[in-house]
Amino acid sequence: MRRRWVEICCRTLITSGFLLSSPARGLLLSLRSAPRRVLNTAGVCSSVTSSIFSSSSTSSIIMAEEAKKLAAYAAVDNHVQNNQVVGVGSGSTIVYAVDRLAERVRLEKLNIVCVPTSFQARQLVLQHGLPLSDLDRHPELDVAIDGADEVDAGLTLIKGGGGCLTQEKIVAACAKQFIVIADYRKDSAALGEQWKKGVPVEVIPMAYVPVSRRIARRFGGEAALRMAVSKAGPVVTDNGNFILDWKFEGAQNWKEVNMHIKMIPGVVETGLFVGMAERAYFGMEDGSVRVRDAPTN
């Protein structure tokens, strides 16, 4: 019985994504092949626990995920009301926002319609059984909720780490309120402080070389073509385009940079969201939620 209990615990942790180390996986394999004898359950569990949580990186991942959930739940609870059209962003944090939307629909019988910003967002909406729409049928949204790769003190954002920047910006621009959700790692005094992968720029494939050169010539740094991980060649967006990641140097006038890059022929959109976000929610390490409003001009 004890042997079976430990095996079930190990299997659950693996499938939940928490059992990350190879020693812990090896433990499950040894349980399957070992002679049938009574196991020291406390000792086994201690070994598993040590294997899982000895790494500070593992615990920080768990903490960051909980922070994402806190921010997402706070935003949905404070900004989504009955009979609203809701823009659903993309990325890892938005998963928790859709979870909370579905929960509120179930518990409070909310009547909402969701407009997704990507294939991923669309699948999330469908998987949760939420009403799905688009900008053809609902060109005006009550609120859009989305994550960010980095947020500065003035709520200027870098977005597009997941490659959905163009559709995310379109949906955000159609909303009466654009609300950002993120964990504490995305909160910066200035862009580039935390996020080191640069500003994403979606480009028409044939133009990526001249666009890259013009950005570097005008603003410095390097604009590199984003390469795919699980396929040969570059990342291709939902719109069939390429992405350049511009690693900039030093402080910038982001409004000017955004406007200049968008004027380059071949550029579809940038991952700079300037003057768009109304409020940001940051899930913090201590379990609290920090709220930041856009500065009033």
Q: How far apart are CA 208 and CA 197, in angstroms?
A: 18
With beta carbons less than 8 A apart as the criterion, state whether 245 and 200 touch.
yes
The answer to whether 168 is a known catalytic residue is: yes
One-letter amino acid at 168 equals E
Residue 187 tokens, joined: 């909160």
Of 203, 275, 288, 281, give the one whose Cα is nearest residue 242: 203
- Any bridge partners for residue 291, and if so which? 281
Which of the residues 150, 168, 202, 269 is marked catalytic? 168
Residues with a catalytic annotation lie at 168
